[in-house]
Amino acid sequence: MHKITFVSLMLLLPAAAFAGESAAFLKIGLGARAIGMGGAYTAIADDVNALGWNPAGLSVLGKRELGAMHAELAQQTRYDFIGYAQPVKHGTLAVGAVHLGHGGIEGRDANGARTGSYGASDQAVNLGFASRLDAGLRLGANVKYIRSSIANASAQSFALDLGGQYALSGVGGPGLPLVGLAIQNLGPGLKFQDQASQLPLTFAAGLGYRLPAGLTLAVDFKQRPHSRDSEFSFGTEYAMLANFALRAGYATQKAANGTRAAGGSFSALSGFATGLGFKLRSYSLDYSFTPAGELGNVQRFSLGAKF
């Protein structure tokens, strides 16, 4: 049995408990590549992981794509994703599933006495579609079914994501500027018995710049009105070889969460992320590393195949 402490939950699900939010696992993010860039992915999402960032990015896929991710979070909490995208006549259709499973949680009553252990899990099933309206404009939407359970109680809901991307070709300069906008988790909240809470509604805006020689720069701004928090994310990717890429990023909200988890003292590495990417023909392997202070480090692995 693994005891999940209060501070670990606050790091994993930031600000949710005090803001009346539920399904905070929807804020964790998909794909080791995106996480390795600090989560700055709204404008540059271009793979099946766009289901979790900006569904408009699905429209750039020229082949069928299968992707999967696994992450070990704090206190034996596992986070997994699998997704599939296929170009169709007027765009790209994608489906994906997310599962967050907590280890045995130690229950306590109001007096602190142990009441036994129980389990908790969260799932989301996504169905997305995106299309290019012209050479530069891409639009996408994603419908998701959400289910959360804790002990013997469970709750379900549906939500909608909307997104757009625009490639500013012909603007001038050596690279390709990109703009992205997304609204995530539009929908009714979850209700456990008589306790209702809202989904983590998120407004995201991003800028990206793809430069020659394999360099990509990206910045995101995210606003979450229900939890009253905002976040800037910065990321870079350098494809130094045709089959190898280095990534780094920084997210301000994750830095703040890491500082709170450390008891208010600033952690020098909180908010930073790094990553690597390998490609072999139509296959890809991505890895990301994010420090989590006293709770340990989070590592993510993603596999992808295009065919």
Q: What is the pLDDT of residue 19?
A: 44
Residues in a beta bridge with 89: none
Identify which of 175, 216, 245, 233 has the alpha carbon closest to the alpha carbon of residue 42: 233
Question: What is the pTM for the complete model shown?
Answer: 0.84
Q: Is the pLDDT of residue 257 over 80?
A: no
User: Could you tell me the pLDDT band of residue 107, with boundaries at 50, 70 and 90?
Assistant: low
Domains along the sequence of the chain with CATH: 6-306 (2.40.160.60)
Q: Is the pLDDT of residue 68 over 50?
A: yes
Q: Are 271 and 254 in contact (CB under 8 A)?
A: yes
User: Could you tell me the pLDDT band of residue 106, with boundaries at 50, 70 and 90?
Assistant: low
Q: Is the pLDDT of residue 135 over 90?
A: no
Q: What is the pLDDT of residue 20?
A: 65
Q: What is the pLDDT of residue 190?
A: 87
Q: What is the pLDDT of residue 230?
A: 92
The dihedral over CA atoms of 267, 268, 272, 273, expressed in degrees to the nearest 10, equals -90
